[in-house]
């Protein structure tokens, strides 16, 4: 009889690191397959893994390929995800379908968290989480990322949530679900391209060690679910909040006019925002992703030290 381990395909390097409590950072693949053109995405994939290794951790890019949950991709698999030919966008609801049918899929935040937890990885770096979409009181468009944070024990480091969302309602939802929202050296919840959203965080963590100690304390208590750590985009790459609001609102209007819904909404909005901002948003997106990988790796290193000391 099969169990979840039969679906996991972990590279030898990552498997050895997990077994020996060395720091590992999970990375998603949707940003590669659905967020960037080829070959720029391949260059990004290599660079973000270099950032993780530069901080003393091991990168674990995830995907669903040929009926397996991939934890770490070899050169050929990375090329497949970046060329993005017949690569689906996978959320929690899609995992079983893709595994059973052998379809290839790029992982968004929720399945990356699931795969990381199954493999024994506690830290995941992303760009920014999904959340409650603007107008959700009518559309009920709420990302599965929020439920995943409430149930899956992984610390997600991102630049807050995407600024095209209803940030206030997203934070209210996370509070209701008992998800700690921490700010990395900030009192302000970041808004993806912008350092501030006008909303606060639950707690300002001063460094990676403090973040790791908070993680360990929660999980030592047996409390379910993960964390969201809002890590602001570096100041030199941040965009003006008011200007971005104008661009985002215009992109949302265009989305409504075209009748785009569901999982196609976010890719359309991000591409449109990129065009309307003259490419500035894309450049910022790269830099915030590198910065999140850096901070996530530092936290993973500190968490591994705490677990080792507790043995």
Do 90 and 105 contact (CB within 8 A), yes or no?
yes
Residue-wise pLDDT for 229-246, tens only, equals 999 999 999 988 888 778
**Burial bucket for residue 20 (CB in 10 Å: 0-12, 13-18, 19+):** exposed
In whole angstroms, give the CA distance from residue 59 to residue 62.
Answer: 10
Q: How confident is the model at residue 110 (pLDDT cuts 50, 70, 90)?
A: very high
With DSSP H G I counted as helix, E B as strand and the rest as coil, what are the percentages for the chain, rounded to 5? 50, 15, 30
In whole angstroms, give the CA distance from residue 214 to residue 226.
Answer: 11
**Tokens 């808004």 found at:** 191
The alpha carbon of 45 is separated from its chain's Cα centroid by a whole number of angstroms, namely: 14
CATH of 4-306, one of 3.90.1300.10, 3.40.50.300, 3.40.50.1360, 3.40.1790.10: 3.40.1790.10
pLDDT at residue number 160: 93
Do 89 and 34 contact (CB within 8 A), yes or no?
yes
Q: What is the pTM of this model?
A: 0.92
Q: Which one is predicted more confidently, 134 or 173?
A: 173
In whole angstroms, give the CA distance from residue 232 to residue 104.
Answer: 32
Q: Which one is predicted more confidently, 83 or 143?
A: 83
Residue-wise pLDDT for 198-222, tens only, equals 999 999 999 999 999 999 999 999 9
pLDDT at residue number 142: 86
pLDDT at 2 exceeding the cut of 80? no
Q: How confident is the model at residue 263 (pLDDT cuts 50, 70, 90)?
A: low
In whole angstroms, give the CA distance from residue 16 to residue 20.
Answer: 6
Residue-wise pLDDT for 265-289, tens only, equals 767 777 777 777 777 778 888 999 9
In whole angstroms, give the CA distance from residue 227 to residue 181.
Answer: 6
Which residue numbers are catalytic? 28, 162
**Tokens 């989480």 found at:** 129
pLDDT at 48 exceeding the cut of 90? yes
Do 17 and 52 contact (CB within 8 A), yes or no?
no
| Nearest-5° Cα angle at 146, 155 to 156 | 15
- Residue extents of the structural domains in the chain: 4-306
Mean pLDDT, rounded, of the chain: 92
């Amino acid at each position: 009889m099969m169990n979840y381990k039969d679906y996991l395909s972990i590279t030898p390097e990552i498997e050895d690191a997990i077994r020996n409590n060395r720091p590992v950072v999970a990375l998603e693949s949707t940003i590669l397959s659905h967020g960037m053109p080829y070959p720029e995405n391949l260059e990004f994939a290599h660079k973000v893994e270099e950032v993780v290794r530069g901080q003393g951790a091991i990168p674990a890019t995830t995907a669903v390929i040929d009926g397996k949950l991939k934890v770490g991709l070899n050169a050929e698999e990375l090329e497949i995800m970046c060329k993005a030919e017949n690569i689906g966008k996978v959320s929690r609801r899609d995992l079983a379908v893709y595994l059973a049918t052998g379809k290839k899929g790029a992982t968004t935040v929720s399945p990356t968290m699931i795969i990381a937890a199954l493999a024994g990885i506690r830290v995941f770096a992303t760009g920014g989480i999904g959340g409650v979409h603007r107008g959700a009181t009518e559309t009920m468009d709420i990302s599965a990322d929020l439920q995943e944070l409430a149930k899956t024990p992984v610390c997600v480091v991102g630049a807050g949530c995407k600024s095209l969302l209803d940030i206030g309602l997203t934070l209210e939802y996370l509070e209701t679900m008992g998800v700690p929202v921490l700010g990395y050296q900030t009192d302000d919840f970041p808004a993806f391209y912008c350092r501030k959203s006008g909303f606060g965080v639950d707690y300002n963590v001063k460094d990676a060690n403090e973040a790791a100690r908070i993680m360990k304390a929660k999980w030592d208590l047996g409390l379910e679910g993960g964390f969201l750590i809002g890590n602001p985009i570096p100041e030199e790459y941040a965009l003006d909040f008011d200007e971005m609001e104008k661009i985002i609102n215009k992109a949302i209007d265009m989305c409504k006019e075209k009748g785009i819904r569901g999982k196609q909404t976010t890719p359309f909005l991000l591409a449109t925002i990129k065009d309307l901002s003259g490419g500035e948003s894309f450049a910022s997106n790269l830099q915030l992703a590198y910065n999140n990988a850096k901070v996530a790796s530092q936290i993973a290193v500190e968490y591994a030290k705490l677990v080792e000391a507790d043995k």
